[in-house]
């Protein structure tokens, strides 16, 4: 879905969400971008295979952490795109940054065993894909998300009681971070 509001900056949001947490974050990003002069495209990652990433200045990719990696649909997306860009010769030694191309990876996680370390592996994995194709990873966002259906893991894990997360505050923080990021990009 494309939302035009006269902005020069073209942004793409893609995400996968099994139980709704990452989707809430994707919507918060979208809400914040809608308030800015940004032309915005919003997709579930499973519907985004045909999108040309180089058509966008700012690409968001989000996933839950599943066994400390991105979820399968995100891994499949990255695998396919990596193949495509490899064939096209876009993946170059030294991975030079293409000016004006930025990516943001966001990951929701419960961290029941080792905390945020269970999410950074997933975020770094997604970020590496973007760096390989010449995008600068402008931000990595890690947002706590309860494990639906497991009160034990959502109350007794390393992060304590995370029921209801991402909550209003978490989402407001995301919106804030988006605004700040867009301001910094537009000021360049």
Ligand X SMILES: Cc1cc2nc3c(=O)[nH]c(=O)nc-3n(C[C@H](O)[C@H](O)[C@H](O)COP(=O)(O)O)c2cc1C
Tokens of 40: 């915005």
**Locus of tokens 């029941």:** 112
Q: Which of 11, 48, 110, 133 binds ligand X (CB under 6 A)?
A: 110
Cβ proximity to ligand X, 85 vs 148, nearer residue: 148
What is the smallest separation between the CB atom of 16 and ligand X, expressed in angstroms? 7
**Chain position whose Cβ is nearest to ligand X:** 145
Interface with ligand X (CB under 6 A), residue total: 21
Cβ proximity to ligand X, 66 vs 91, nearer residue: 66
Residues within window 70-109 making contact with ligand X, judged by CB under 6 A = 108-109
User: Taking CB under 6 A as the rule, does residue 159 contact ligand X?
Assistant: no
38 vs 58: CA distance, rounded Å: 10
User: Taking CB under 6 A as the rule, does residue 45 contact ligand X?
Assistant: no
139 vs 127: CA distance, rounded Å: 9
What is the smallest separation between the CB atom of 162 and ligand X, expressed in angstroms? 8
Q: Which of 20, 44, 54, 128 binds ligand X (CB under 6 A)?
A: 20
178 vs 163: CA distance, rounded Å: 24
Helix, coil or strand: residue 11: strand
Cβ proximity to ligand X, 167 vs 185, nearer residue: 167
DSSP 63-75: EEEETTEE-HHHH
Q: Which of 51, 44, 50 is nearest to 10 (CA)?
A: 51
User: Taking CB under 6 A as the rule, does residue 169 contact ligand X?
Assistant: no
Q: What are phi and psi of 25, to 5 degrees?
A: -65, -40
Q: For 96, which DSSP code?
A: P
What is the smallest separation between the CB atom of 74 and ligand X, expressed in angstroms? 11
Binding-site ranges for ligand X (CB under 6 A)? 17-23, 64-68, 108-111, 118-119, 145-147
């Amino acid at each position: 879905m494309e939302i035009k509001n006269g902005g020069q900056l073209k942004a793409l949001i893609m995400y996968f969400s099994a139980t709704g947490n990452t989707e809430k974050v994707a919507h918060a990003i979208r809400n914040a971008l809608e308030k800015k002069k940004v032309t915005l495209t919003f997709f579930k990652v499973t519907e985004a295979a045909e999108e040309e990433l180089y058509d966008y200045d700012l690409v968001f990719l989000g996933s839950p952490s599943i066994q400390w990696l991105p979820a399968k649909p995100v891994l499949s997306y990255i695998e396919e795109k990596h193949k495509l860009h490899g064939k096209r010769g876009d993946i170059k030694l030294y991975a030079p940054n293409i000016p004006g191309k930025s990516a943001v990876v966001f990951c929701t996680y419960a961290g029941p065993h080792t905390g945020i370390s269970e999410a950074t592996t997933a975020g770094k994995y997604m970020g590496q894909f973007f760096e390989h194709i010449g995008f600068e990873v402008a931000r990595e966002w890690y947002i706590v998300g309860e494990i639906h259906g497991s009160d034990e893991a959502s109350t007794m894990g390393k992060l304590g009681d995370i029921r209801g997360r991402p909550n209003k505050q978490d989402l407001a923080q995301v919106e804030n971070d988006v605004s700040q990021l867009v301001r910094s990009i537009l000021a360049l």
